[in-house]
Structure 1
């Protein structure tokens, strides 16, 4: 047990306590804002890192939640200070929020390091905000816990429950096929997202907040509370109170984010029917914590952990609101006890096993028992072969079973606009057996690896009733997406990966049970193509985009910047206060 800190050991005391000219400057300027010595003397300073913005619907309630966190900090005898950070609204930021995840991580790390704060509450939930906040706080090495935004309430259209993302893709295909009117489509637009909060399907947002709870970085049960439920406001205040205690205990992310904790996170991710994006983010988060993880850890977990959460898109019926009422993440983890490292520490100040005391499941169809899973294996599978030497990912629990083993001719596209225009042609020479390929959409090619991987099914085939076919890219796809989409092909085409050598008509074979992907072209022919290959021009010639292209890791390595990973150099020292 680490001894509790005293006031003079707090970081903030270096700014506010000294009887010198610099201390005078700090105290006089904080008093300029209306604070007095009673606000900070003897108290830890808690940074509330808030990713609210006017254009982030997932975090629209954070204006209120930040006040509830402050209330909790004050109740526990701390001094709360709100620090705004990059909002990263998934729906509106182009070409992709993934381009800016590392920018948020850098901002959080430097916000915490440069200000007189002792610990932090990290407010996020929209897809990339969760890993970005955690990566930055982990590198800053200050006590921190995560406050998840929570899922929005279920959507509704004519009495049918709508799931954000998943039903958007579903009904868009129906509209392209001519089965929906313009009025139908407008009503779906108005009904699919009805409250603040992130996607209520098992997309990237719900996946990453669940992973964060399983990792031990949220309060128990926090990740599945709906954003507008009163329990969410109470959880926010509790997070503020707990942050103060964590500072006195010096409970840093490094004490929580162990290899055992990451193994727990991966196990829970598989049982949740997680987003394919989980692999990229968890690998990056682990590397920040000094834990070496690769694709094999996810594939091994997938072989032994069934999908228990009957939540769309892997499930066939329920949404996150139903999951919460059924027992939430503690309920699901209670069914995985034999697969979890129960001694792992959590930000609650006690082991994961102790946080699960009393956890129960209230609906066995929403959270299935181990002997009646939604899917016998886990949510993801990692494929390797001559088309993806460093691996690629598919979500077999959300694709048509007959496509798990498939051989077909390639239909290749170098960019999204050409692909979209071509696939809408009624005279396109394409069959359900074709394998649609999109390249130059990876970490450097996108840039930022946009969510373009759920490639559209040709309109001609939609009209024939086809709703799934094999699609391959070096891009990502939304966690709310579904289908036989092979993603994250590494190395990407932009840096010379084999995907860049595929031509129309080449036969491609995938075998998910065997974890194999093969481009059936001879080695000699591939060598000739490689000799003639020319990379696409880089999209950014200056600024952040240029830096991104120079330093981004590949998908199987987590897509962090090489210079931000643990081990690149010595940890940054505390700032001088002169």
Structure 2
């Protein structure tokens, strides 16, 4: 005896508990076996899975087609060995241009993206996206989002991209890029150009767009001249970037972050 506890206790009362522990142990063993099998399958798939771009640039079944696909890329410095080395081809969807001022900053940032892709052993291909400028398009920019989306889908589908960096900014290019990425289901990330810096006029914040509408009203009422309106408008757009107000450009880029398509911040 040890105190009031008998040295041996009847085992019968512990048998249900023992069976439960045994069942749990078998369950965990099965889960572990399943995880190990899944990992082996995943490792095997990684070892044998070919990049999408290899169907263009390294396809043993169609060597003559491979030569045709490779040929014209050689005229600006890429080598056949590089294209056939199994490196991922990463597209950079360039929305910036001189007629898309909200996104024009990407003409410079795209070069940094290219350098980053090369540093990560990828091959960058920059290509244009249908341009959009809301306040300059006649008769209206209403269709341009869909045109940008449709064009981007065709490019991503028809060319040898393994992934894509989506440069965005204005309230139409951002959803166009997101829609195209969802349609194609390629690895993708959004790089927003960000908003313009805060504008100031006569010591007060001057929001892009907002200042235009307020100024037009003042002009119609005879309170300011056209030259003063131009000064206000110039003050409200002090740098590269999309609208610096709480408008739809900000909403769309915030949505891209909320969807996990862009890095936070």
TM-score (norm 1): 0.37
Matches within 5 A, 1:497-516: none
Q: For 1:26, which of 69, 72, 77 is the aligned residue?
A: 69
Task: Give 1:160 deviation, angstroms.
Answer: 2.0
Residues 57 and 7 of structure 1, relative CA distance in 2, 3 Å threshold: farther
Cα contact 1:7–1:13 (8 A) shared by 2: no
Matched residue of 2:53: which SS?
A: helix
Match of 2:154 in 1: 110
Task: Give 1:6 deviation, angstroms.
Answer: 4.9
Task: Give 1:119 deviation, angstroms.
Answer: 0.8
Matches within 5 A, 1:229-378: none
Match of 2:118 in 1: 74
Matches within 5 A, 1:9-20: 9-19=50-60, 20=63
Matched residue of 2:126: which SS?
A: strand
In structure 1, what is the Cα distance between the partners aligned to 2:57 and 2:227? 61
Match of 2:17 in 1: none
Residues 148 and 7 of structure 1, relative CA distance in 2, 3 Å threshold: farther
Task: Give 1:184 deviation, angstroms.
Answer: 2.2
Q: Say whether residues 1:96 and 2:140 are aligned partners.
A: yes
Instruction: Please say which structure displays the higher CA radius of gyration.
Output: 2
In structure 2, what is the Cα distance between the partners aligned to 1:24 and 1:210? 43
Q: Which moved more, 1:174-183 or 1:156-165?
A: 174-183
Relative to its length, the structure with more helix (as a share) is 2
In structure 2, what is the Cα distance between the partners aligned to 1:24 and 1:86? 30
In structure 2, what is the Cα distance between the partners aligned to 1:84 and 1:156? 33
Q: Please list every run of 5 or more consecutive structure 1 residues that lacks an aligned counterpart in the other structure.
A: 222-578
Cα contact 2:257–2:263 (8 A) shared by 1: yes
Matches within 5 A, 1:51-450: 51-221=95-265
Task: Give 1:201 deviation, angstroms.
Answer: 0.2
Match of 1:288 in 2: none
Matched residue of 1:127: which SS?
A: coil
Aligned pairs, how many?
Answer: 221
In structure 2, what is the Cα distance between the partners aligned to 1:181 and 1:14? 62
Give the ranges of 4+ consecutive aligned residues of structure 1 lying more than 6 Å apart after TM superposition: none
Residues 32 and 7 of structure 1, relative CA distance in 2, 3 Å threshold: farther
Task: Give 1:195 deviation, angstroms.
Answer: 1.1
Matched residue of 1:206: which SS?
A: helix
Cα contact 2:168–2:193 (8 A) shared by 1: yes
Q: Please list every run of 5 or more consecutive structure 2 residues that lacks an aligned counterpart in the other structure.
A: 1-37
Cα contact 1:123–1:147 (8 A) shared by 2: yes
Match of 1:480 in 2: none
Please report the RMSD computed on the Cα atoms of aligned residues, expressed in angstroms: 1.9
TM-score (norm 2): 0.78
Matches within 5 A, 1:516-535: none
Q: Which moved more, 1:64-73 or 1:25-34?
A: 25-34
Task: Give 1:98 deviation, angstroms.
Answer: 2.2
Higher relative contact order (CA 8 A, sep 6+): 2
Task: Give 1:31 deviation, angstroms.
Answer: 2.0
Matched residue of 2:114: which SS?
A: helix
